Chains A and B, each alone.
Chain A
Amino acid sequence: MSSKSSSLFADLKQKETSEIEVMYETEVALLSATEEELLALYRKKKIHSETIKFAVSKTTQTPNIKGQPGDELVELAVEQKKEFDEHLTRRDALVERLLVPRHRVIHAMGEFHEKLTTSLAPSESVSLATEMEHFARFFELQAMLQIYADEHDVQTSLHQARSNLLETIKAVNKNDRRLAQLINQHRSNAKKQRMEAGRLKAYLEKVNASPVIPVPEPSPEVNERLLAGQALSMEEFASMLEHGGLTDLDSKQVSPTKAKQHKKKGNRKTTPRRSQRQTPKRKRD
């Protein structure tokens, strides 16, 4: 134990206590700075994670960046997500209103036009009601196609907004991973600093809290009292430990005043008769 503790503090023994105290204070200051940085990194990482979740619609809650200004990438991501949502809502409203996708509109228009204009065999017949229905459908589909053409920017802007958001989120994700690395690095630094501060503190405590107080030598009277079975004070016992004497006691020099010791009763000699077969006496005979 003593060799271990000496190796633990080996580098400090050469130094003055005041110097070590300065070292300890510096280490504590470093540790608190590292922990503050670590806390800031944790906050940043949380915001990054929340931003990613918000961007991929895993949560509807906007990340709270009020306390962390300056992260432009996160602000951009939030802004782009809002923009993307707006485009998406606009596109969804259009789809909900028209229901039929553009390619189906074109296909159905072609079908109706063909049904209305292709010549028929005399045996085939088309009722006027069917013609009217097809005519109405054709022009409704034409109106839908026109809307799709007019609202072409809805789809284009949605694609653009999606790709922009994806790019930003990639960057946020990259930052998030970098932050995770930084956090790990800071945590290991903090651990080292905490250990060093602890070591310095322990050394200082050892140096400051254990002054060398000379222990007086035990008097022969103490030995007699001990042999007589009387109680010793802590100081007397400490002096015997420090200067020896406990092992020098001769049991033969026991004084007649020695308290009568009761001999402890020995253990019972009888042994249990386990594993012995209880045979009847007549059989044994």
Chain B
Amino acid sequence: MLSVLPADLIKSILARRQTMAGRLPKELEQRQEENDRAFQLAKVSREELQALQNTTETATSNAEELLKAQQLYDEHEQFRRRTSSRLQTIKNNIKDCQEAIEFWEGLADGNWGHLLEDAERVRGGGASSYAEAKRHATEGSS
């Protein structure tokens, strides 16, 4: 652990990010398909429910059918929301990955100094961030 250099760790982080970024488009495609399917299902079930509601406004005998349609719609709508969320997560991951790759690639040249401020302070004889946090907590409580 003592031999790990910042450049090495950045390389490992970048490698992981790039692997993830390579997998994400396929994942996005799958989620998109899934979301489209869920959207269609929800749309159909909503239309069916609306139709039933219009036709059975006066008739009470079809109440059971109406309940079934409502349940089906709820289920499809829930599925649509879930797939939409998954799709959004993948989109966010893609965005995060792109940002992260850009950031770490920018640091690969050795501009990581601002991330090593705590380490430099400790090396210089200063207190660790853990000790600082404790001191702040103690001062705050007293």
CB of A211 within 8 A of chain B? Answer: no
CB of A32, distance to nearest CB on chain B (Å): 62
CB of A54 within 8 A of chain B? Answer: no
Q: Is the CB of B130 within 8 A of A120?
A: no
Interface residues on A, range: 35 or more
CB of A254 within 8 A of chain B? Answer: no
CB of A33 within 8 A of chain B? Answer: no
Contact with A along B80-98 (1 / 0, CB 8 A): 0000001001101100100
Contact with B along A93-106 (1 / 0, CB 8 A): 00011111000001
CB of A147 within 8 A of chain B? Answer: yes
Q: Interface stretch among B34-42, B45-53, B70-78, B114-122? A: B114-122
CB of A113 within 8 A of chain B? Answer: yes
CB proximity to A under 8 Å, residues B1-28: 1-2, 4, 6, 9-10, 12-13, 16, 19-20, 23-24, 27
Contact partners of A106 in chain B: CB under 8 A = 1
Once A106-B1, A140-B128, A143-B123 are accepted as A-B contacts, the answer to whether A128 and B99 lie under 8 Å apart by CB is yes
CB of B131 within 8 A of chain A? Answer: yes
Once A99-B128, A145-B1 are accepted as A-B contacts, the answer to whether A127 and B119 lie under 8 Å apart by CB is no
CB of A146, distance to nearest CB on chain B (Å): 6
CB of A131, distance to nearest CB on chain B (Å): 6
Contact partners of A110 in chain B: CB under 8 A = 1
CB of A58, distance to nearest CB on chain B (Å): 29
Residue in chain A with minimal CB distance to B123:
A143
CB of A77 within 8 A of chain B? Answer: no
User: In the complex, A206→B99 CA distance in Å?
Assistant: 116
Q: Is the CB of B130 within 8 A of A109?
A: no
Q: Is the CB of B9 within 8 A of A135?
A: yes
Q: Is the CB of A119 within 8 A of B16?
A: yes
Q: Which of A109, A119, A139, A149 contacts B115 (CB 8 A)?
A: A139
Residue in chain A with minimal CB distance to B12:
A117
Contact partners of A125 in chain B: CB under 8 A = 89, 92-93, 96
CB of A190 within 8 A of chain B? Answer: no
CB of B44 within 8 A of chain A? Answer: no
CB of A39, distance to nearest CB on chain B (Å): 52
Residue in chain B with minimal CB distance to A140:
B118
Could you pull out 26 A-B pairs where Cβ atoms are within 8 angstroms? A96-B131, A98-B131, A99-B128, A100-B128, A116-B9, A117-B13, A119-B19, A120-B20, A122-B27, A122-B93, A125-B92, A131-B104, A135-B6, A135-B13, A136-B115, A136-B116, A136-B117, A138-B4, A139-B115, A140-B129, A142-B1, A144-B128, A145-B2, A146-B2, A147-B122, A149-B2
